[in-house]
Structure 1
Amino acid sequence: MRKKWTTLLFPLLFVLVFSVIAACANTPSEPVEENPSAGKEPASPSEPANQQPEENPDNNGSDKTSAENDTVDNPDNDPLDEQPVSEPAGPANPSLKFTYPDAVRGIYVTGNSAGGSRFDTLVQLVKSSDLNAMVIDIKDDWGNVTYIPEGTPYVDAGKPLIKDPESVLKTLSENNIYPIARIVVFKDTVLAKKRPDLSYISSNGALWTNGRGEAFVNPFLKEVWDYNIGIAKEAAKLGFQEIQFDYVRFPEGFERRDESLTYSLGSYENQTPTRFVKLEAEYKEKMEAYQKQFAQLSQKRDKAKAIYDEAVSQLNAAKANNQSNTEDANVHNNTPSGNQSAETESNKDQNELEAIEQKIKEAKVAWDKTEEDLKNLEKSKPKEPNFSNKERLVQLRVDAVTDFVAYAKRELEPLGVKVSVDIFGYTATLPAGAPGIGQDFVRISDQVDVISSMIYPSHWTSYFGIAKPDKEPYRLVQEYAKVEKEKLSQLSDPPISRPWIQDFTASWLGQGNYISYGKREVEAQIRALNEAGIKEFLIWNAGNNYTENVDYTPLQP
């Protein structure tokens, strides 16, 4: 009997042990939370691209990411070859209910915070104040998707920072917090290392990275567009109501290094930039007007000269005739009556000469005036635009970035989500934006539902007549709002303005160049926006340590 039980028991034990081992092997280990990325871009190109990260009690102090250890895989098996497919509108979970707030007042939330213990604290902050939205990292500054998107082409880029994104969205829905998915687009070290052909190659044959070891992917390539839009579609399926694209640009200072890098222009290889087409049409129109005016003035000049020449000829003829008459009078008119007649004729001739001389004088004035007008007109002759190949490449960058935004809007529209873009604040202050990195404030704004300028006072150099902007947050925001208002007024259907403002202390600026930011400084920025008619804003703090007891609606009683 014992032998029979032994015979039956051993197989059962074997199956049980094998099942436990298999289950353990398929369970991902709990990730150690990382130091949140400082991530946000500056409002001035001369400033560092990332603010200093704040201390995060939920992490172990590591700033390493999986991107730094990735190797290049076989591109033949790359998920980028699979084109994303538009999904039906609405969230995957029909139980999620969101409404657009009276005005979005939001905070930035890292993947670490959204997936860690800090999330509950941040939810409580929003619930207990006039805040009502969260911008959550779904694709971070290194290119990691902050959750594991199982069953999608993007699973290899996934990192389990947010273990249960559905639960996060459910919590936001239950607390009426508007969810925005932040997707860092063209700064993507993960994808660049995996697919160097989608990035930039240095002259030494290595993948190009900036001074912080970050790589960018190429905005000229539609394959890169589709990759990011595919991730955005997955976020929309989770229930996010808005997709916020960040780093929608070429690397800082690209115009100074592009000639030393190898990269593809994709479908833009033989394309004429949109700005060239516009400039050429404007130049043609101006030249036609110039040539018409030049012809009119030339005709007027020629007429004045002809009158002058004719009058001079008349004067010469009159003088010759008078001389002849005088000689005849001297010979034939020696009587008193003859002398009187000659004197009368002489006076008549003199009057005729004076009339002709006056005509000459007037014709000369008219002639000189038209000559002067022609010279002045020639000074204002339209200059042919710069159509050099270098300028062509610069303007193609603007086209590529703008075209991506327009394409993303079209692709995401069936999913019922809004599209917003983060942009350098200083691009609104320049006539043509920042073409070197591909950002044109007006053109990008024309393609989105929401434009979010990054206007942290600490990230501006001396601007708007403010020597140390970090020390004057109200004035800096006030002056910026005036410029942005003028730029957006150029659009027939402008987007919502929702700037990023500062809730951190920029001590790296050095003594005397910064102030400690707290309740008063955050409220000053909000007040400046509200007084300018800008009701929406987002607050940035890299470590998600937000100031307590802030009045987020300072103009409301």
Structure 2
Amino acid sequence: MRDKNRNTVLRKLLLSFFMFEALLWGSFSGVVIDKTTSKPVANATINDSYISVKSDENGTFAIHSAEDKIFVKAYGYRPYTLSKETNSTVLALEPITVKALYLSFWRASNNSPRLKEILEIIEKTEINSIVVDVKSEYGSTSYKTSFEKANVYGAHNDRTNRDIEQFMKLMKSKNIYTIARIVTFKDELQASNNPEYAIKKSDGTLWRNHDEMAWVDPFDKRAHEYTVSIAEDAARVGFDEINFDYIRFPAKDGLSFSKESTQESRVEAISEFLKLAQNRLRKYGVFISVDTYGNICWEDYDMGIGQMIEPLSKYADYIAPMLYPSGFAKGSFGLENPSEHPHAVIYRSLKNIEDQIESKRLRPWLQSFKDYAHRKIEYNYFEINEQIRAAADTNTSGWMLWSPSSRYELSYFRAKERDVLTLDSIRENSEYID
């Protein structure tokens, strides 16, 4: 009887607490639907800076929040921001299959001829997204962020964009989905200014990789805070998505870290970074994506770099394996030269992980550069579109095309009004010889 009375008192206290919470905070309920089909969107995330709820199978949700804005995210849709003053309780999300071109650090100027070329491609073709370097491998930022620590190191000295607000305004006016690429642990500038948490050689001296770039220790929380602060600024200026690259340990043996480097500790370190990023970026309503080695699709261990599909997917919205056919060794997939079989490489790799992650959470990086490893073939219309076809055949959320020079051919992409891309049309417009 005493336990029963105690439980009754506890229930009353909890009820009183939640009633007080509802009065203190605002309450908002609604339904999330697909803007195109008007069908409900289940499992959408609705959140403010602290609270997250999910829409049910009917798209309905309820959230208590004292904040002015609420953010709505669902895989395969553009992010949605809701003002608490909005009267509508029906939230229509715009579906998007991301088809992105990469714009490099040195071409991120508002007046860059390469940017103008990309904007023309977006205007006339299926391309609807752009990946922009915000933080480079060296540690430079393409615009001056509000993160003073990086500015003290001179991260903004070589910036290529002097007016990021103008840039973002232009992107929004054209309804372009914007992705901020942020290099994570490879950071010469941060490491050289903070040698106490830079990766060392076994003799205790600073280690640099083959291109003379130092890295910061992924175990060290100071390295986490640094990069997340830059990511937070990119979210603040209006990017739709934050893409973390080099979010891994170096693929190098014999290095010295602040902790013992085991598979468990490495995977945990990467997860801790992403957990921090998720918590800090949630108040901006942005998506988070992570770039991975292409081989992650084929291995059941972390390859010594801390990357595994399932742990990454716990905190990241999208996984972006770098499935460049030239990056796979001879004999991979039973193919003598994988670069000659672009569809097979992409298709088989993505199918191989479909039991680990939903296909709509995959968005591979595709190759738009000359094969450097095998037959030295150029990647032209056929090779690029075979990769695109493979991404579509596996029902991914889209793809991102990597050209180091950010040079792309308008004629390689479907015109906006075309709905179907056949293999015959690919062959007719390519120089490929079977």
Structure 2 length-normalised TM:
0.71
- Cα 1:478/1:138, change in 2 over 3 Å: same
Structure-to-structure mapping, 1:417-456, within 5 angstroms: 417-434=286-303, 436-456=304-324
User: Is residue 147–residue 230 contact of structure 2 (8 Å, CA) maintained in 1?
Assistant: no
- CA distance 1:414–1:151, shift in 2 (3 Å): closer
**1:451·1:498 contact (CA, 8 Å) conserved in 2?**
yes
Q: Which residue of 1 aligns with 2:119?
A: 123
1:249 is aligned with what amino acid?
R
2:351 to 456, 471, 482: 482
Structure 1 residue 501 displacement after superposition: 0.4
1:522 pairs with 2:391: no
Instruction: Output the CA distance in 2 between the equivalents of 1:147 and 1:522.
Output: 31
**Secondary structure in 2 matching 1:485:** coil
Report the CA distance shift for 1:546/1:100 in structure 2 as closer, same or farther (over 3 A).
farther
Asked if the contact 1:199/1:217 (under 8 Å) is kept, the reply is: yes
2:200 maps to 201
Aligned partner of 2:254 among 250, 253, 257:
257
For 1:218 and 1:552, the matched residues in 2 are separated by: 43
Instruction: Say which structure is richer in helix.
Output: 1
> Do 1:149 and 1:155's aligned partners in 2 also have CA atoms closer than 8 Å?
yes
How is 1:372-391 mapped onto 2 (pairs within 5 angstroms)? none
Structure 1 pair 437–174 and aligned structure 2 pair: CA distance change class (3 A): same
What does residue 364 of structure 2 align with? 499
Q: Is the 8 A contact 2:366 2:401 kept in 1?
A: yes
Instruction: Indicate the residue corresponding to 1:315 in structure 2.
Output: none
Q: Which amino acid aligns with 1:216?
A: W
Deviation at 1:551, TM superposition (A): 3.1
CA apart distance, 1:124: 1.2
SS at structure 1 position matched to 2:126: coil
- Worse-matched range after superposition: 233-242 or 114-123: 114-123
Question: Closer, same or farther in 2 for the Cα pair 1:505/1:530, shift >3 Å?
Answer: same
Structure 2 match to 1:232: 231
1:114 aligned to which of 108, 112, 126: 108
Query: Which residue identity lines up with residue 128 of structure 2 in the other structure?
Result: N
Residue 102 of structure 2 aligns with an amino acid whose one-letter code is Y
Change (3 A) 1:552 1:455: farther
Percent identity over the alignment is: 30
Aligned to 1:401: 270
Q: Deviations over 1:248-296 (max 9, x none)?
A: 001112xx213xx3x323xxxxxxxxxxxxxxxxxxxxxxxxxxxxxxx
Asked if structure 2 preserves the Cα contact closer than 8 Å seen for 1:134 and 1:177, the reply is yes
SS of 1:464's partner is helix
Q: How many residues align?
A: 329
1:184–1:247 Cα contact (<8 Å) kept: yes
Partners in 2 of 1:408 and 1:556 — Cα distance? 38
Once residues 442 and 421 of structure 1 are traced to their aligned partners in structure 2, the CA distance between those partners, rounded to angstroms, is 12
The question of whether the paired residues in 1 share the 8 Å contact of 2:178 and 2:240 is answered with yes
| Aligned counterparts of 2:343 and 2:419: Cα–Cα separation in 1 | 14
In the superposition, relative to structure 1, how do residues 429 and 133 fare at CA in structure 2: closer, same or farther (>3 Å)? same
Cα distance in structure 1, aligned partners of 2:258 and 2:224? 14
CA distance in 1, matches of 2:131, 2:172: 14
The amino acid that maps onto 1:458 is: S
Query: SS at 2:148's partner residue?
Result: coil
Q: Distance between the aligned counterparts of 1:509 and 1:455, measured in 2?
A: 14
Correspondence 1:84-123 to 2 at 5 A: 102-115=96-109, 116-123=112-119
Deviation readout 1:222-246 (Å, 9 max, x if unpaired): 1111111110111111111111111
Which residue of 374, 380, 401 maps to 1:539?
401
Describe the shift of the 1:399–1:495 C-alpha distance in structure 2 as closer, same or farther (beyond 3 A): farther
Matched-pair contact (CA < 8 Å) for 1:409–1:419: yes
Deviation at 1:406, TM superposition (A): 2.1
Amino acid aligned to 1:199: A
Task: Say if 1:219 and 1:400, in contact at 8 Å, map to a contact too.
Answer: yes
Q: Is the 8 Å Cα contact of residues 360 and 396 (structure 2) preserved in structure 1?
A: no
- Distance in 2 (CA, whole Å) between partners of 1:396 and 1:151 is 29
Instruction: Name which of 462, 468, 471 aligns with 2:337.
Output: 468
Shift of 1:196: 0.6
What residue in structure 2 maps to residue 145 of structure 1?
141
Over the aligned positions, Cα root-mean-square deviation in angstroms equals: 2.6
Q: Do 1:473 and 1:524's aligned partners in 2 also have CA atoms closer than 8 Å?
A: yes
2: CA distance, partners of 1:127 / 1:455: 27
The unaligned stretches of length 5 or more in structure 2 are 1-67, 72-78, 83-92, 422-434
Deviation at 1:431, TM superposition (A): 1.5
Which residue number corresponds to residue 281 of structure 2?
412
Instruction: Call closer, same or farther: CA 1:202–1:433 in 2, change over 3 Å.
Output: closer
**Residue number in structure 2 paired with 1:268:** none
In the other structure, the counterpart of 1:550 is 412
Quick one: structure 1 residues 238 and 88, their matched pair in 2 at CA, closer, same or farther if it must change by over 3 Å? farther
**Residue 200 of structure 2: SS of its match in structure 1?**
coil
Q: One-letter code of the match for 1:500?
A: W
Partners of 1:179 and 1:412 lie apart in 2 by 15
Cα distance in 1 for residues equivalent to 2:145 and 2:382: 41
CA contact (8 A) 1:449 1:495 kept: no
Query: What letter is aligned with 2:316?
Result: V
Spell out the pairing of 1:330-341 with structure 2 (5 A cutoff): none
Q: Secondary structure at the match of 1:453?
A: strand
Structure with the bigger percentage of strand: 2
Contact 2:131 2:179 in 1 (8 A): yes
Structure 1 residue runs of 5 or longer lacking an equivalent are 1-86, 266-389
- Greater RCO (Cα-Cα under 8 Å, separation 6 or more): 1
* Paired AA for residue 504 in structure 1: F
Shift in Å, 1:89: 7.6
Residue of structure 2 in register with 1:221 after alignment: 220
CA separation in 2, counterparts of 1:183 and 1:101? 25
Query: 1:119 aligns to what SS in structure 2?
Result: helix
Distance 1:499 1:556, change over 3 A: same
Q: 1:196 to 1:106 in 2, by over 3 A?
A: same
Q: What TM-score, normalized to structure 1?
A: 0.56
Q: Tell me the equivalent position of 1:46.
A: none
Q: 1:409 to 1:552 in 2, by over 3 A?
A: farther
- The Cα shift of 1:129 comes to 0.7
Q: How far apart in 2 are the matches of 1:534 and 1:151?
A: 34
Q: Could you tell me how far apart the structure 1 residues matched to 2:352 and 2:146 are? A: 45
The question of whether the paired residues in 1 share the 8 Å contact of 2:324 and 2:366 is answered with yes
Alpha-carbon deviations, 1:484-506, whole Å to 9, x = none?
213215xxxx7621100011112
Structure 2 residue aligned with 1:272:
none
Residue matched to 1:292? none
Distance 1:88 1:189 in 2: 37
